[in-house]
């Protein structure tokens, strides 16, 4: 009996913690959502003049069910925490407007997602503009602004039957992180400092090996060539750092694990990792078939996504073990998108 009562108390505590966590997340969502609305013209939003005419603000998204009767769409997301959250955010918002959405979760890297989109296995997925340009369009040009990068990617997409929707205010850039003690021992502050390390043990997803925003760019731009590369599933890089199996890891700047100072993120003064605001990539044919409110619904979600909001949502899933669906729902409700 005592064991059952103790177990029941543990379950109640866990459920209470989850409710509190989601309530805090909802409060944050409301605060940063209002801030995002107030700063929608900030240059970091990445919405170029060519995209401005296609974008519709959240306030103009109509009430009711504009998606009722429209063809079903298949939404894909890639293979890490932030993508799972983005997939849920867009899916739930679209379904709330009556659109029929099939979610293909965890489909893989950009290269796999792009093939799925071109073959019609999916109709849209959230991508990062710098990765789209380098990994999809084969464009290795270093752009001076995110607007220039977006314009180049949008032009490529339109030539190939896709549309890049307006960028999110937040950017999730690849970065190299080390343990603070390692940084202090080797006097590391920027990625450039890694060039002096012999036999640098670097952990990253397998595709990092061949990407311009990976080993190729690190060698070309910073002269980092003496590397022992460990291909790692996304999410395991922090464990590898903590256990000393690698010296530096490819991380994402919106990772929840980066809160608290447990890791040192090295500066990228030559911007080898580029601009990485999110742009939903959609089949142009599907976008036309679904009607203007389809894009308006997606844009309304995108424009609420600040860096702080994504860090908190990523932490809620990766560290607090809440479900992407629950975290997304809480955020959408707090921002009036459900």
88, 125, 175, 296 from 104: Cα distances, Å: 10, 9, 27, 22
CATH 3.40.190.10 domain extents, the chain? 15-171+275-334
Tokens matching residue 9: 């108390």
Q: Tell me how far apart the terminal alpha carbons of the chain are, to the nearest angstrom.
A: 43
pLDDT, tens only, 137-181: 999 898 999 999 999 999 999 999 999 999 999 999 999 999 999
pLDDT of residue 259: 81
Tens-digit pLDDT profile for residues 122-136 = 999 999 999 999 999
Residue 20 scores a pLDDT above 80: no
- Say what the pLDDT of residue 70 is: 97
pLDDT for residue 142: 86
At residue 28 the predicted structure's pLDDT band, cuts being 50, 70 and 90, is: low
Domain with CATH 3.40.190.120 in the chain: 174-265
pLDDT at residue 57, rounded to an integer: 38
User: Regarding predicted confidence, which is higher, 47 or 118?
Assistant: 118
* In the predicted structure, residue 286 carries a pLDDT above the cut 50: yes
Q: What would be the CATH architecture of the domain defined by 174-265? A: 3-Layer(aba) Sandwich (3.40)
Res 203 pLDDT > 80: yes
Residue 68 in tokens: 């009722």
Mean pLDDT of 307-321: 94
Q: Which residues pair with 204 in a beta bridge?
A: 231
Choose between 172 and 36: higher pLDDT: 172
Dist CA 271 CA 173 (whole Å): 10
Q: Mean pLDDT for the chain?
A: 86
Number of Cβ within a 10 Å radius of residue 10: 10
Q: Look at residue 334 in the predicted model and tell me its pLDDT.
A: 96
Q: What is the pLDDT of residue 11?
A: 42
Stretch among 5-19, 39-53, 273-287 having the lowest mean pLDDT: 39-53
Virtual CA dihedral for 130, 134, 138, 139, nearest 10 degrees? 60
51-75 tens-digit pLDDT: 333 333 344 444 579 999 999 999 9
Model confidence, pTM: 0.77
Angle CA 127–101–60, to nearest 5: 75
Instruction: Evaluate if residue 6 carries a pLDDT over 70.
Output: no
Is the confidence at residue 14, as pLDDT, over 60? no
Q: Quote the CA–CA distance of 216 and 210 in Å, as a whole number.
A: 6
Tell me, what's the pLDDT at 26? 52
Residue 109 confidence (pLDDT) above 60? yes
User: Could you give the CA distance from residue 80 to residue 183 in angstroms, rounded to a whole number?
Assistant: 27
Above pLDDT 70, what percent of the chain? 81
Q: Give the CATH class of 15-171+275-334.
A: alpha beta
Q: What is the pLDDT of residue 18?
A: 47
pLDDT at position 106 is 96
What local confidence, expressed as pLDDT, does residue 260 receive?
82
pLDDT at 64: 78
């Amino acid at each position: 009996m005592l064991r059952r009562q103790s177990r029941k108390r543990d379950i109640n505590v866990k459920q209470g913690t989850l409710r509190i966590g989601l309530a805090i997340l909802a409060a944050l969502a409301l605060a940063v959502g209002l801030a995002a609305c107030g700063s929608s013209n900030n240059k970091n939003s990445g919405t170029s003049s060519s995209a401005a005419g296609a974008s519709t603000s959240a306030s103009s998204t109509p009430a009711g069910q504009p998606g009722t009767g429209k063809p079903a769409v298949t939404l894909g997301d890639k293979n890490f925490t932030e993508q799972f959250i983005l997939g849920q955010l867009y899916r739930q918002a679209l379904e709330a407007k009556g659109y029929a959405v099939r979610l293909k979760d965890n489909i893989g890297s950009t290269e796999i997602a792009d093939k799925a989109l071109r073959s019609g296995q999916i109709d849209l997925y959230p991508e990062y503009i710098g990765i789209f340009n380098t990994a999809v369009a084969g464009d290795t040009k270093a752009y001076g602004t995110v607007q220039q990068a977006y314009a180049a990617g949008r032009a490529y997409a339109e030539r190939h039957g896709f549309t890049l929707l307006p960028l999110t205010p937040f950017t999730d850039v690849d970065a190299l992180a080390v343990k603070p003690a390692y940084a202090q021992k080797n006097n590391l502050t920027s990625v450039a400092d890694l060039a002096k390390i012999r036999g640098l043990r670097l952990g990253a997803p397998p595709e990092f090996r061949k990407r311009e925003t990976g080993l190729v760019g690190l060698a070309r731009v910073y002269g980092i060539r003496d590397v022992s590369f460990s291909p790692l599933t996304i999410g395991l890089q922090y464990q590898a750092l903590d256990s000393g199996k690698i010296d530096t890891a490819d991380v994402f700047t919106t990772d929840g694990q980066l809160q608290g100072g447990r890791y040192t993120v090295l500066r990228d003064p030559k911007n080898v990792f580029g601009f990485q605001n999110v742009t939903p990539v959609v089949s142009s044919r599907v976008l036309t078939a679904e009607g203007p409110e389809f894009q308006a619904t997606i844009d309304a979600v995108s424009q609420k996504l600040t860096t702080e909001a994504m860090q908190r949502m990523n932490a809620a899933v990766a560290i607090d073990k809440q479900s992407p669906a629950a975290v997304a729902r809480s955020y959408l409700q707090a921002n009036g998108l459900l």
